[in-house]
Copies of this chain bind each other. A is one copy, B any other.
Amino acid sequence: MTYSVNFLPHNVRIEVDDNESLIRAAMEAGVHINASCGGSGVCGKCRVLIEEGKVEGGISEHLSQEDQEKGYRLACISEIVSDLVIRIPVESQVDTSRLNKQAVSRHTAKATYSNVDELRQDGLFIPPVEKIYLELDPAVEGDNQADVTRIINHLRLNHDEHRLTMSLSLIRRVPDIIREGEFNITVTIARPVRKDGKNLIVNIEPFDTSDRNFGIAVDIGTTTVYGQALDLHTGEVLSQHGEFNSQISYGEDVISRIIFAEKDGGLEIIHQKVIETLNKIIEKILKKAKIGRHEVTTITLAGNSTMTQLLLKINPSYIRRDPYVPASIMYPPFHAKKIGIGLSSHTIALVYPGVSSYVGGDIIAGIMASGMYRSSELTLYMDIGTNAEIAIGHKDWMVCTAASAGPAFEGGGVKFGMRASAGAIEDFAINPETYEPMIITVGNKKAKGICGSGLITLAAKLLETGVIDSAGKFNQSLNTPRIRKTEDIWEYVLVYKENTQIDRDIAITEPDLDNLIRAKGAMYSAALTLLDEIGLGVKDIEKIVLAGGFGSYVDLESAITIGLLPEIEPEKVTYLGNGSLLGCKINSLTNALRRDVANVVNMMTNFELATTPSYMDHYMSALFLPHTELNYFPKVKARLERLRK
């Protein structure tokens, strides 16, 4: 159910979902309401007048009895339950007109989902491991072919299955299983990548178990490992769970993990750590979905090249040493149990191939999930994180590269940086006259810090209102106590300590902004360098796919304003979420993808930015908001000029 909300005096109307909070609706509409506490109802600043309709809640000790009777409510704790007309108290007429001019509604990217029905329609809903129930003729005098031969002949004659093979360890179990099931058995067949490859029979069970066929998809992130349990019969995600990668205790980033792995016994330890994490996740998702371990026939995993090599216990040392060589980019299917994964001995593990030391299987998985390799539109794929991986291309060619962006997008190197968990400032607006903030936190809790998407919006809004300049420096002449110098560092106070969870003022500092500029600069210049190398420009990009942990919450306008994304229509940007996990899921549902993956990896040209001379120039030019070359961002330029008039 949706309701219409009209914000006065701006006269901005927006459609919102049932039970949305009023302050989020205002933020979405681009309407400023002073709000310091993040939406937890404790600062009492977000007082609004309900002129028509009604809300649920909205009343606290911070609202006087008189105001309550007049119809005022606190926007942050008011739930929308009808069509509304809301009036925002403003401090002056100037305020009103500037606020109105400022109003820019939020555009987050549309999410892409894989569509099982589509796969089914195209005849591509063929999991890499399938189950088939067989009612064999029992062995009798005159028909005493070998047990294995009986199975293979039956599959050939009745199921059009060919090029079948079986491992020795399975053959060992056949004679007893076939008789336990009285010649009624279910065979599990692992499909080859190429159609003319071998179909490997990996398991045989007595009687009919063909409706119990499950897969697991896993993204092995440097920080977090996510897993999903999939029903390979319906394509449904049955359960999912994420855990911190317990390798973290041996280093936050891939380089420190590699250094640890180089120590005596280190590789074994760090390999075991990720296996532990993986097994914890598997246990949880199987329990939640009521699946037995022996019912999981396949697990698809993706990670960056270092995570992949540590998962597989392959010395990652040469990844971090010039000339940065991974052990392999392709890995054969193997038995999951072989590397210690807590699944049955017949479960087949598939690992996404990568391209280079710094463009790994996680990116390839995301590219597969995005479908860009099938599209004729020139697509820019960006995985935003500590390591910025970028691919550009379409069905005929593809190039990729990776840049070290630094941890700013993930809350690192930012004084009050944090992950996008409860209390993280995730959205922000600023009154262009009073410079008072409007703050929304994850979970509407009292503020604790700033997450990556919040940081981007913060920087954009501070830039738009002239609080900072294009170099990320504060305008020290503005008349607000929120801009101040603490310990020789300029900062803007977002939340005073009484409204925080941490009993300290939460501010954004010049070094924070500097780190953000470096991160976005690395990202943008990597894309620009790639485009340059292939003789194209930003204007040629027809589509952008964003992947990465926080992408779904990023306000696209803000991301463009700070020069993280090139200028593009918001509707041309789609958000993939965890592309690596999504790619693993799709791989579990359609074996056809595996040949495409090999093709993508083979056609992908990898550029090493370190050895691409133009990169450093592009990077230096990108260390401004939005960019040294404002002509790359004509609309941002125009808007900034208009706002600051």
Show the binding face of A for B, using Cβ within 8 Å.
139-149, 165-168, 171-172, 174-176, 179, 196-198, 312-315, 317-318, 322-332, 334, 338-339, 356-357, 608, 611
Contacts and interface: CB of A to CB of B under 8 A. Distances in A.
Contacts of A329: 146, 148-149
Number of copies: 2
Contacts of A149: 328-330
Contacts of A141: 322-323, 608, 611
A300 to B, nearest CB: 15
B168 A323 contact: no
Contact of A144 (B143, B315, B323, B334): B323
Contacts of A330: 148-149
Query: DSSP majority for the A interface?
Result: loop
B327 A139 contact: no
Given A196-B196, A331-B168, A331-B171, A323 B147 contact: no
Contact of A313 (B147, B172, B324): B172
Nearest to A330: B148
**6 closest A-B pairs (Cβ-Cβ)?**
A148-B328, A144-B323, A146-B326, A146-B329, A175-B327, A141-B323
A140 B322 CA distance: 8
Contact of A323 (B139, B197, B608): B139
Nearest to A305: B146
Contacts of A332: 165-168
A191 to B, nearest CB: 15
B165 A328 contact: no
Nearest to A267: B172
Given A146-B325, A146-B326, A168-B338, 11 more contacts: A139-B323, A140-B323, A142-B323, A143-B323, A144-B357, A149-B330, A166-B332, A171-B328, A175-B315, A175-B317, A196-B196
Contacts of A140: 323
A325 B330 CA distance: 41
20 contacts: A139-B318, A139-B323, A139-B325, A144-B608, A146-B327, A147-B318, A147-B325, A166-B328, A166-B332, A167-B334, A168-B312, A168-B332, A168-B334, A171-B312, A171-B327, A172-B327, A174-B327, A175-B314, A175-B315, A197-B198
A3 to B, nearest CB: 55
A146 to B, nearest CB: 5
A314 B611 contact: no
Nearest to A145: B325
B325 A144 contact: yes
B175 A318 contact: yes
A356 B171 contact: no
Residue with the greatest number of chain B CB neighbours at <10 A, chosen from A312, A327, A332: A327
Contact of A314 (B171, B197, B326, B356): B171
A179 B317 CA distance: 12
A135 to B, nearest CB: 18
A323 B139 CA distance: 7
A277 B34 CA distance: 87
Contacts of A331: 168, 171
B172 A314 contact: yes
A204 B148 CA distance: 34
Contacts of A143: 323
A141 B335 CA distance: 35
Nearest to A334: B168
Which one of A140, A142, A332 has the highest number of Cβ atoms from chain B below 10 Å of its Cβ?
A: A332
A328 B174 contact: yes
A274 B349 CA distance: 34
Contacts of A318: 139, 147, 175, 179
Residue among A144, A167, A339 having the largest count of chain B Cβ atoms under 10 Å: A144
Contacts of A198: 197
Contacts of A356: 144, 146
